[in-house]
Chain A
């Protein structure tokens, strides 16, 4: 699985868009980009995933660059409840254990 690099922390004003970057320059053609978040000490929560096209769901949007070496998770209107650690994970869809490799993520703080 490709290694990812994320900034350790970011702040965002409440109501503004939060843009969380992730670098994955060694990503392979069959590897997906996944985003999870962990609020306080709860279990991680799935947000969104994508291969090469931009994706959007009710929680967020995922923008993947054309060369797929980086991506950005966008929370369109951040709320205080979005304060969490956000993990960018890259892995192939078909792997034996199908587990996730978590790094240290980005700690997003939404400021009132």
Chain B
């Protein structure tokens, strides 16, 4: 049972480049989330999904897209990276509404130059 895994762990992009961050969970969770964390700040929700085939916007969705084609995977895409997207990205999952605990991945550190 690996829990929540994220790929890649580190990435450096040039402005305008695109990339996809992959989140995978093996706990059969319905809900999955993408957060970003900037230095000295708490986590902010980018997008989330309440089940396979569904996605919704969070607090800071601009510049990102997501897809949940399979229940176990949640992809975060940056179509045209900007320096303001330099951050640490965390994926999380949970059973569903009312669940107490969210399980977080180890994070992806992204730098956009």
Interface residues in chain A, defined as those with a beta carbon under 8 Å from any beta carbon in chain B = 32, 34, 41-46, 49, 87, 93-105
| B104 CB contact (under 8 Å) in A45, A104, A105 | A45
Residues of A contacting B22 in the complex (Cβ-Cβ under 8 angstroms): none
Residues of B contacting A105 in the complex (Cβ-Cβ under 8 angstroms): 42
Residues of A contacting B48 in the complex (Cβ-Cβ under 8 angstroms): 97, 99
State whether the Cβ of B60 lies closer than 8 Å to any Cβ in chain A: no
Closest Cβ of chain A: how far from B68's Cβ, in Å? 14
| A102 CB contact (under 8 Å) in B42, B94, B105, B109 | B42
Of B4, B43, B45, B56, most buried by chain A (CB within 10 Å of CB) is B43
Please state if B45 and A97 are interface contacts (CB–CB under 8 Å).
Answer: yes
Majority SS of interface residues in chain A?
A: loop
State whether the Cβ of B74 lies closer than 8 Å to any Cβ in chain A: no
Please state if A104 and B42 are interface contacts (CB–CB under 8 Å).
Answer: yes
How far, in angstroms, from A64 to B67 measured CA to CA in the complex? 39
Q: Which residue of B lies closest to A103 (CB)?
A: B42
Please state if A43 and B105 are interface contacts (CB–CB under 8 Å).
Answer: yes
User: What are 16 inter-chain pairs, A to B, with CB distance below 8 A?
Assistant: A34-B100, A41-B88, A41-B107, A41-B109, A43-B106, A44-B43, A44-B102, A44-B104, A46-B103, A87-B42, A93-B98, A96-B50, A97-B45, A97-B50, A98-B31, A102-B35
Please state if A98 and B107 are interface contacts (CB–CB under 8 Å).
Answer: no
Of A43, A44, A93, most buried by chain B (CB within 10 Å of CB) is A43
State whether the Cβ of B99 lies closer than 8 Å to any Cβ in chain A: yes
State whether the Cβ of B92 lies closer than 8 Å to any Cβ in chain A: yes
| B102 CB contact (under 8 Å) in A32, A93, A100 | A100
Please state if B42 and A43 are interface contacts (CB–CB under 8 Å).
Answer: no
Q: Which residue of B lies closest to A104 (CB)?
A: B42
